[in-house]
Amino acid sequence: MKKVMFVCKKNSRRSQMAEGFARTLGAEKISVTSSGLEASHVDPLTLQVMADIGIDISNQNSKALGDFNPQDYDVVISLCGCGVNLPSEWLTREVFADWQLEDPEGESIDTFYKVRDLVKERVEKLIASLN
């Protein structure tokens, strides 16, 4: 089973969505965690847009990347273009990708829905490529 780390700047929106989708869609196929360059909080709108499609991520919390060991992960996915700011040991895992998705912070709920749907599409493709 591949271990996947989704990382973003604050682990508040995009990476939380990715973790929620991967836990739901990749159950028993992958092991998943998300983190941020710094820990923050899970944005309430992120909770809402995921709940709207039946995925409850209310038990997820924001975590700092520095609390994890890169050697424990096979796949590292940056969702925000922050790959350039990651320590090199995170970039040299079996799979590294930087999806560079728009941050919906401060945007309309429609932007949250758009980003959520893009994250779902990418997570589905990732899971398919790993299995």
pLDDT confidence tier of residue 84, bands split at 50, 70 and 90: confident
Q: How far apart are the first and last CA of the chain?
A: 9
Distance CA 5, CA 19 (A): 8
* Pairwise CA distance, residues 57 & 131, whole Å: 24
Active site residues: 8, 80
The fraction of the chain above a pLDDT of 90, given in percent, is 91
The model's pTM is 0.95
Higher pLDDT, 4 or 81: 4
List, in order of start, the domains of the chain with CATH numbers.
2-130 (3.40.50.2300)
With a pLDDT cut of 70, the percent of the chain lying above it is 100
CA distance 86 to 67: 13
